[in-house]
Chains A and B, each alone.
Chain A
Amino acid sequence: AQKVTQAQTEISVVEKEDVTLDCVYETRDTTYYLFWYKQPPSGELVFLIRRNSFDEQNEISGRYSWNFQKSTSSFNFTITASQVVDSAVYFCALVVNTGNQFYFGTGTSLTVIP
């Protein structure tokens, strides 16, 4: 069975602080994909990143970076120098190659205080 755990329900930081959102996944499949989505207060779900299980390279995109570690089954997301516009609910998701659906975590609500 597949599972995604986002243990942090809510996080508040002050603007310009760095923040890391945790994502831990469970699967016995060796081929899988991990995703992060952002849901701002306006409600739409915005795709941020996809990573496959064979690519453990960390990725940086502007102020966003992702740390994929198979040894700990984690795919953490760090926002550097947070801004108010980063306030949103962030979802981590997993798809396995032998499956047919996306497994979502319960989301982490991030509030960036000006």
Chain B
Amino acid sequence: DTAVSQTPKYLVTQMGNDKSIKCEQNLGHDTMYWYKQDSKKFLKIMFSYNNKELIINETVPNRFSPKSPDKAHLNLHINSLELGDSAVYFCASSLLPGLNTGELFFGEGSRLTVL
């Protein structure tokens, strides 16, 4: 069973389109994250949710909107895609840091290419 699964794995789209990436975890974790990895491999946190509540919202364009319908799901919707949005987006989950901090479990990543 895949612990953290995200779909789609690859996404190629035109500038200006709107797209979504879905993420689900079956680990029973209460905290989920979206990370963006650029071409230089930097991992940058975008958002974090704990029990459906937004707890981290880094400086990200408001074209990016996360949605957490329940604590096992965290989806990422991107409006009006731009060339600079091309990256690999990783979903991850963990127990809430600070309470028996365990490791981050990552999904396989979703490679977004904006043409």
Interface residues of A (CB under 8 A from B): 33, 35, 37, 39, 43-45, 47, 50, 52, 89, 91, 93, 95-102, 104, 106-107, 109
Contacts and interface: CB of A to CB of B under 8 A. Distances in A.
Contacts of A101: 33, 45, 48, 56, 97
Contacts of B108: 43-44
Contact of A39 (B40, B41, B50, B105): B41
The 4 closest A-B pairs by CB, nearest first: A45-B106, A104-B43, A47-B103, A95-B97
B23 interface: no
Interface of B: 31, 33, 40-43, 45, 48, 50, 55-56, 88, 90, 92, 94, 96-98, 101-106, 108-109, 111
Nearest to A52: B101
B103 A106 contact: no
Main secondary structure of the interface of B (DSSP, over half): strand
A24 to B, nearest CB: 17
9 contacts: A33-B101, A37-B106, A44-B106, A45-B90, A45-B104, A95-B98, A96-B98, A99-B98, A101-B45
Contacts, number: 66
B96 A47 contact: no
Contacts of A106: 40-42
B104 A102 contact: yes
Nearest to A29: B98
Given A45-B106, A98-B98, 20 more contacts: A37-B106, A43-B108, A45-B90, A45-B109, A47-B104, A47-B105, A50-B101, A50-B102, A50-B103, A93-B104, A95-B97, A95-B98, A96-B98, A99-B97, A100-B48, A100-B55, A101-B33, A101-B45, A102-B45, A107-B43
Nearest to A95: B97
Contacts of B94: 102
Contacts of B92: 45
Contacts of B102: 50
Nearest to A47: B103
A23 to B, nearest CB: 14
A92 to B, nearest CB: 11
